[in-house]
Each structure stands twice: as C-alpha cells, then as structure tokens.
Amino acid sequence: MKILKLFSGLKVEIVVVFCDDNFVYRDVISLSVLCVGKWNMQRIECKYLIFCTRFKWLACRAICYSKLLEMYKVMFGLLINVLEFGCQPF
C-alpha cells in the first residue's frame, strides 16, 4: 500500500503490474492492471540479478579511483541508463 501511495503522489499511472499467482496481490491491486505469470517474474528477477552483478563488479573496479558517494551515484546512474534505456553516455 505504501508504494501505491508514493506513485499516486507522483501522479504516475500504473498500467500493468507483473506478479506471481499470490492472492495477496489481488487484495491490494485491482484486477484490471494485474498480469499474472511466471515468465514475467523470472524476467524481472533475471534483470535484477544482472544489475546486482554489474554493480558489484563496477564497485570493485572503481573503488581505487574514488571513494566519494557522489561518484558512485553518477556511475550507477550511467550504468542504469545504458543497460535499461540504451542511452549512450557520450
């Protein structure tokens, strides 16, 4: 319920919510936006694991360059833009 309140504050329209076949989701989220399926959940989990692996790899490689938190935020933001949206940083 907290995340739905956050999205309503941002005025974001939720078109589809991918979930597994758990009854809890049906109580909280309307059935018109629910998309139940194993394949969608596995795709999301795979993408999450790829992000975590690449973040850890990048953090290990970049720790020798800078220990500033702002530098990590910039690097991770660029990595998300490249991997998720296909934007080239330069």
The tens digit of pLDDT for each residue in 64-81 reads 666 677 777 777 788 788
pLDDT at 19 over 70: yes
Overall pTM surpassing 0.75 (yes/no): no
Residue 13: CB atoms within 10 Å:
7
pLDDT at 14 over 80: no
Q: φ, ψ for residue 32 (rounded to 5)?
A: -70, -25
pLDDT of residue 53: 87
pLDDT > 70 in the chain, percent: 88
pLDDT of residue 32: 85
Please check whether residue 83 is in contact with residue 90, taking contact to mean a CB–CB distance below 8 angstroms. no
